[in-house]
Structure 1
Amino acid sequence: MTNIRKESVTFHTVDETDAGQRIDNFLIRLLKGVPKSHVYRILRSGEVRVNKGRVDAAYRLEPGDEVRLPPVRIAEREEKVVPPGHFPVVYEDEALLVIDKPAGVAVHGGSGVSFGVIEQLRRARPEARYLELVHRLDRETSGLLMVAKKRSALVRLHEMIRNDVPEKRYAALGLGAWPEGRRHVKLPLHKWNTPEGEKRVRVQEDGQYAHTVFTVEERFADFTLVEALLRTGRTHQIRVHMQAMGCPIAGDERYGDFSANRELARQGLKRMFLHARSLKLPHPLSDEPLDLSAPLPAELNRYLESLRRHAPQL
């Protein structure tokens, strides 16, 4: 059900959290339920004022700016109930939150998922004025996930990610034999959609440059445990690079060996064996070096121990 609520004139004082962003993006986030076309109309018409003056959509807010909003009609949609989420905290200060995300939880709502980590964090921390995802992890991937608590931190972190500054290391169990102890895989990746609308990635000559460094940690008769160091951060990069090398990730339902996955589930591995275990980067505001880690989840540890007990190591 959709109800319409009419607002009166309101005034908003810009603080450090909102400073630096464009006025149009500020209004789109503030006026949830208002079509973007209407936001741009009230900007063009001069109904939105900053410090009593007209501004265009590209104006960047400064601390202390007073933003006047005209009365607007907001569509109120019946909201889905989002349970508060409490996740293991690996690091937290006034600018940055890093959690250890469990497998099976999406990072945000959408694509058939009502809510994810970010919505649950906001529900659990109603006092937090700003919580935004810095990057993403696939739903079935566990491990380190960064959330910005200040816009200035988010902007700096996104700049770091564009320049491949964060050092992200993953643990992955591949089905089959990895070809050598250490290998740089540089295969371009192309995103596409299936006829059913499902997002997929494949190796394709005209795709985006992608670089992963794989190092073998343990070899078994039918599996290889590797560390994957991301040099770029493309969608599904590790998963597709391992598939392309003939060593797909155990339990991967999208790029893996489906018949083998059924047998793995019977043996106790009921999820994809991919874990974001290490993250190194300078702090986004202080430049202090951060060296963060998340231990391998219990279910992955148990499966590894069963391999060590029952599968021949090479």
Structure 2
Amino acid sequence: MALSKAPAVSRVSVDEGSAGQRIDNFLVRICKGVPKSHVYRILRSGEVRVNSRRVDQTYRLQEGDEVRIPPIRLAEKAEVAVPVGRPFDIVYEDEALLVLDKPAGLAVHGGSGVSFGVIEQLRRQRPEAKFLELVHRLDRETSGLLIVAKKRSALTVLHDMMREGRVQKRYLTLVAGRWLNLQQHVKLPLHKYLTEEGERRVSVNPEGKPAHSIVRLLKRWHSCSLVEVELKTGRTHQIRVHLSHLGFPLYGDDKYGDFALNKRLDKVGLKRMFLHAAKLAFRHPLTDQSIELAAALPAELEEYVVAVEQAEEREYG
């Protein structure tokens, strides 16, 4: 619901999509542009009422609750028009969730200099949808399988499953160098930090959080290797940092890769990072049904692999 810019009391009826959400998070979501500090202040003062009663910030909303929101004056802010865009390739969908094949170059959500992403476009394409929320994230330049919850109950369970490692995620990537082991467990702790320019970065650091990747060799050439990486943890930039640290930077990685190599790759047709979320396996959050999904390599990556094959044949026979 959009709140009026002019001060006025708003009354919002809680639907199924918001049931189970904490009142503070609910207010932050619908009171767009209002500082969190102000949201907590009106909660503490009792100006927010649920079914005419005061509640604290930990109260979880129930379907049918009526939330009274006091007058809030918002600064006028130009709304960014989210384009409808092309329909996403939906790999799986039911009443609780959907899984789409995200194209490379599109962020999963707006923020940090990006005005919109997959989730904003999906909501624009489906105005009738009461609830659409990201279950996890993919880097902007990563393509592949992305889960979106259509019910809060599904979102909550899926988040628990992600934390507990009960969602199997496998990625395909092309790395510089000759990867030798058919299967290798990589357990290197990762630490997040900000550069002097304010950019988010990750490094292998004993002070970091535990991170576990399983790397399987699929094909090896003289200059590069195609590998599948299974994530046992879901740290930021985990695959990119683990492999780069071991001396096998991802082709096209503009943060942790080989920048001179990337320039050469761009000239011969690889104009993006070679990282694709290829497989997902998990139990359905509401029915416990087994779900296994796959997304083929995008055409531009498949074509590059073919070009590598052909170049190897010409040079080495």
If the length of structure 1 is used for normalisation, what is the TM-score?
0.95
Question: What is the Cα deviation at residue 16 of structure 1?
Answer: 2.1
Amino acid at match of 1:71: P
- Segments of 5+ residues of structure 1 without an aligned counterpart are none
8 Å Cα contact 1:33/1:76 also seen in 2: no
- Segments of 5+ residues of structure 2 without an aligned counterpart are none
8 Å Cα contact 2:173/2:274 also seen in 1: yes
Deviates more, 1:8-17 or 1:46-55: 8-17
Mapping for residues 86-101 of structure 1, pairs under 5 Å: 86-101=87-102
Deviates more, 1:242-251 or 1:73-82: 73-82
What per-residue deviation string (whole Å, max 9, x for no partner) do you get for residues 236-274 of structure 1?
Answer: 101111111211111111111111111111111111111
Mapping for residues 1-314 of structure 1, pairs under 5 Å: 5-85=5-85, 86-311=87-312
Equivalents in 2 of 1:15, 1:75: separation in Å?
28
Equivalents in 1 of 2:35, 2:271: separation in Å?
42
What per-residue deviation string (whole Å, max 9, x for no partner) do you get for residues 159-215 of structure 1?
Answer: 111101100000011100113111000011111111011111111111110100011
The two structures, once aligned, show a CA RMSD in angstroms of: 1.6
8 Å Cα contact 2:180/2:217 also seen in 1: no
Equivalents in 1 of 2:74, 2:128: separation in Å?
23
Number of paired residues?
A: 311
Equivalents in 2 of 1:254, 1:38: separation in Å?
37
What per-residue deviation string (whole Å, max 9, x for no partner) do you get for residues 206-234 of structure 1?
Answer: 11101000110001010111010001110
Question: What is the Cα deviation at residue 7 of structure 1?
Answer: 4.1
8 Å Cα contact 2:161/2:167 also seen in 1: yes
Question: What is the Cα deviation at residue 72 of structure 1?
Answer: 2.4
Amino acid at match of 2:14: V
Equivalents in 2 of 1:249, 1:194: separation in Å?
21
8 Å Cα contact 2:252/2:265 also seen in 1: yes
What per-residue deviation string (whole Å, max 9, x for no partner) do you get for residues 98-126 of structure 1?
Answer: 11011111111122212111111111111
Question: What is the Cα deviation at residue 68 of structure 1?
Answer: 2.0
Instruction: Give percent identity, aligned residues only.
Output: 61
Secondary structure of the equivalent of 1:75? coil
Equivalents in 2 of 1:37, 1:194: separation in Å?
28
Question: What is the Cα deviation at residue 235 of structure 1?
Answer: 0.5
Equivalents in 2 of 1:82, 1:52: separation in Å?
36
Question: What is the Cα deviation at residue 50 of structure 1?
Answer: 1.4
What per-residue deviation string (whole Å, max 9, x for no partner) do you get for residues 35-90 of structure 1?
Answer: 22222222222222212211111111122222222232233311112111321111
Equivalents in 2 of 1:37, 1:185: separation in Å?
42
Secondary structure of the equivalent of 1:309? helix
Equivalents in 2 of 1:295, 1:118: separation in Å?
22
What per-residue deviation string (whole Å, max 9, x for no partner) do you get for residues 116-166 of structure 1?
Answer: 111111111111121111111111110001111111111111111110110
Equivalents in 1 of 2:76, 2:128: separation in Å?
22
8 Å Cα contact 1:50/1:67 also seen in 2: yes
8 Å Cα contact 2:101/2:143 also seen in 1: yes
Equivalents in 2 of 1:299, 1:187: separation in Å?
31
8 Å Cα contact 1:210/1:233 also seen in 2: yes
If the length of structure 2 is used for normalisation, what is the TM-score?
0.94
